[in-house]
């Protein structure tokens, strides 16, 4: 996901959170009989407005936030004024906006926890590539098939396959249980003798090139590569061993884009960086792991709702507890707008849709917290 799209999503999420916040003030004021002169989306100058009953509903030129204009906000002599209401009534109106934001954050966090998430599967090995003219190719095995069993025996590492295959006679058939596109499928094949190693082989590559470390400020880091990513392909060429990695990098002309497809927590992520004559990916340390694949898990709805409610309580407590430490140690101060924006980009880039939900929930919760602080400019126009 590009930075521009993430910034747009950030602005939209903030706009929606503020609009719902002001809608909370608006509904609360109406319910207790306060006259609302205007409910506006955006900040003036006004583009147009429609009057319904005693209230003008307006759309304004600057698409940041919203506002509610109540009669007599500071003058209790005005009929049906806000200032003319009792302190508890006014408090209810003021609190309605933040409470809407808290509820919105709760819904978004619950949805965030309810989304399926990827975990490394404990069974089976993913096929990275198939050797040409091998028994595996002839039997129809394809890259990204997952070998679950060989002759009825579960496999967890490449050595398991080798042991089972070589326990039989040359020319004897073996049966593989595959997982392909979520469906189990059985195939049979006859392993062939590799003359160099004198071992029976079926002809598959199982190794995955996993990123173990990325230097900050390196071209790879700036492009979005992170530890835990696996290199799936480079410019369309599948990466399954050192030779395929080197060949793919050398196929890209200097000055052209290196287009990588990464496997990140079970999802394919595309990124690009400029090729400045790299022999390897700059600033990246790799390690080869065998047959890693991911499976989807999902929390029960009740658990997702519980975690959403827990974090609604936990996050503000965390912020309040951090304030004395920040005052004592300026180095621990919260990041400014630019830093917050960079952090948002990182979260959404690495987590996709779930990151968007989390970002939106934190924006809504943050808006609620700041509106409860006794600082008038932080009231968001309410």
Question: Does residue 301 or residue 231 have the better pLDDT?
Answer: 301
- Is the pLDDT reported for residue 380 higher than 50? no
The residues spanned by each domain of the chain are 3-115+300-379, 124-205, 207-294
Q: Give 265-292 pLDDT, tens digit per residue.
A: 667 788 888 888 777 788 888 776 665 5
Q: How far apart are CA 130 and CA 138, in angstroms?
A: 10
Of 322, 348, 354, 321, which is closest to residue 335 (Cα–Cα)?
A: 322
Q: Which two tokens stand for residue 38?
A: 């205007």
Q: Give the confidence band of 252 by pLDDT, cuts at 50, 70, 90.
A: confident
pLDDT at 30: 93
Q: What is the mean pLDDT of residues 333-362?
A: 64
- Is the pLDDT reported for residue 197 higher than 70? yes
Q: How far apart are CA 69 and CA 38, in angstroms?
A: 5
Q: Give the confidence band of 373 by pLDDT, cuts at 50, 70, 90.
A: low
pLDDT at 335: 46
Q: Could you say which of 22, 38, 149, 192 is catalytic?
A: 22
- Is the pLDDT reported for residue 31 higher than 90? yes
Give 31-66 as a 3 state SS string: HCCCCEEEEEEEEEEEEEEEEECCEEEEEEEEEEEE
Residues 6+ away with beta carbon under 8 Å from 82: 29, 34, 70, 71, 72, 73, 90, 93
Q: What is the mean pLDDT of residues 124-139?
A: 86
The CATH homologous superfamily for domain 207-294 is PDZ domain (2.30.42.10)
- Number of C-beta neighbours around residue 222 at 10 A: 13
pLDDT at 329: 59
Q: What is the mean pLDDT of residues 72-90?
A: 89
Highest mean pLDDT, choosing among 39-43, 317-321, 350-354: 39-43
Q: Give the confidence band of 93 by pLDDT, cuts at 50, 70, 90.
A: very high
Question: Does residue 364 or residue 144 have the better pLDDT?
Answer: 364
Q: Give 94-104 pLDDT, tens digit per residue.
A: 999 999 999 99
Which of 50-59, 110-119, 185-194, 247-256 is least confident? 110-119
Question: Does residue 316 or residue 215 have the better pLDDT?
Answer: 215
pLDDT at 119: 56
Q: Domain 124-205, what fold? A: Pdz3 Domain (2.30.42)
Percent share of the chain, pLDDT over 70: 82
Torsion of CA 364, 366, 369, 370, to 10 degrees: -110
Q: Give the confidence band of 328 by pLDDT, cuts at 50, 70, 90.
A: low
Between CA 9 and CA 15, with CA 10 as vertex, the angle to 5 degrees is 95
pLDDT at 362: 86
Q: What is the mean pLDDT of residues 116-129?
A: 72
Q: Give the confidence band of 21 by pLDDT, cuts at 50, 70, 90.
A: very high
Q: What is the mean pLDDT of the chain?
A: 82
Q: Give 151-194 pLDDT, tens digit per residue.
A: 999 988 778 888 898 888 888 899 999 988 888 999 999 998 88
- Containing 325, the helix (H) or strand (E) segment is helix 301-328
22 is catalytic: yes
Q: Do domains 124-205 and 207-294 have the same CATH topology?
A: yes
């Amino acid at each position: 996901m590009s930075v521009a799209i993430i910034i747009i999503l950030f602005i939209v999420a903030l706009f929606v959170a503020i609009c719902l916040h002001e809608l909370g003030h608006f509904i609360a004021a109406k319910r207790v009989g306060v006259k609302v002169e205007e409910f506006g989306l955006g900040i003036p100058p006004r583009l147009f407005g429609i009057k319904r009953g005693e209230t003008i509903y307006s759309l304004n030129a600057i698409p940041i936030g919203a506002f509610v204009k109540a009669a007599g906000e500071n003058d209790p002599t005005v009929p049906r004024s806000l200032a003319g209401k009792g302190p508890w009534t006014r408090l209810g109106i003021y609190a309605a906006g933040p409470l809407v934001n808290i509820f919105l954050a709760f819904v978004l966090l619950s949805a965030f926890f309810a989304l399926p998430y990827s975990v490394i599967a404990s069974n089976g090995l993913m096929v990275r590539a198939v050797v040409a003219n091998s028994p595996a190719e002839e039997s129809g095995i394809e890259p990204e098939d997952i070998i679950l069993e060989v002759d009825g025996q579960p496999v967890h590492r490449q050595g398991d396959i080798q042991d089972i295959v070589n326990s039989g006679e040359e020319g004897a058939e073996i049966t593989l249980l595959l997982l392909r596109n979520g469906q189990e499928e059985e195939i049979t094949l006859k392993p062939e003798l590799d003359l160099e190693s004198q071992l029976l082989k079926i002809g598959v590559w199982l190794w995955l090139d996993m990123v173990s470390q990325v230097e900050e400020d390196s071209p790879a880091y700036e492009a979005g590569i992170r530890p835990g990513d696996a290199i799936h392909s480079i410019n369309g060429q599948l990466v399954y061993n050192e030779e395929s990695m080197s060949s793919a990098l050398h196929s890209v002309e200097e000055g052209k884009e290196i287009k990588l497809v990464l496997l990140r927590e079970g999802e394919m992520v595309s990124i690009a960086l400029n090729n400045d004559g790299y022999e390897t990916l700059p600033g990246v340390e790799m390690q080869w792991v065998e047959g890693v694949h991911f499976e989807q898990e999902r929390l029960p709805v009740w658990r997702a709702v519980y975690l959403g409610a827990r974090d609604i309580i936990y996050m503000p407590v965390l912020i309040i507890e951090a304030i004395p430490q920040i005052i004592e140690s300026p180095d621990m101060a919260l990041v400014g707008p630019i830093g917050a924006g960079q952090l948002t980009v990182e979260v959404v880039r690495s987590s996709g849709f779930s990151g968007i939900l989390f970002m939106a929930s934190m924006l809504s919760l943050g808006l609620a917290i700041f509106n409860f602080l006794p600082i008038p400019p932080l009231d968001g126009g309410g």
